[in-house]
Amino acid sequence: RQIDPDTHRAKSIVEISRASNGSLHGRIVELLNPSRPNPTCDKCSDDRKDKPITGMEIIRDMRADGANKWSGGNILKPDEGKVYKSKMELIEGGAKLQVSGCIMFICKSQTWERM
């Protein structure tokens, strides 16, 4: 579950899977309390533009970077249409995933909960 850092409420359910090349990818399988029914990524500027957010791949090309750490990929914030360079790390014995996204030197982090 993706947790909103401002409200501390679950925002979406993201399924993370391993591709045949070993990289991790994640897609939104369910939006929790969307602002409108069946929202699309109207602010996206890449291949996801105007596509439904439910089912959308938001994590791309994360590569192993040590034990329980991944980096080198990117993460999309659909409500902004912005793509951030990303790092992820399993914490609390794998119960949570610390996800950070950066543009230039500005970074934000979120902690997601395993379901």
Where do the domains of the chain lie, and which CATH numbers do they carry?
2-113 (2.40.128.520)
pLDDT per residue as tens digits for the range 35-45: 888 899 999 99
30-67: burial string, b at 16+ Cβ within 10 Å, e else: ebeeeeeeeebbeebeeebeebebbebebbbebeeeee
pLDDT band at 99 (very low <50, low <70, confident <90, very high): very high
pLDDT per residue as tens digits for the range 67-81: 999 999 999 999 999
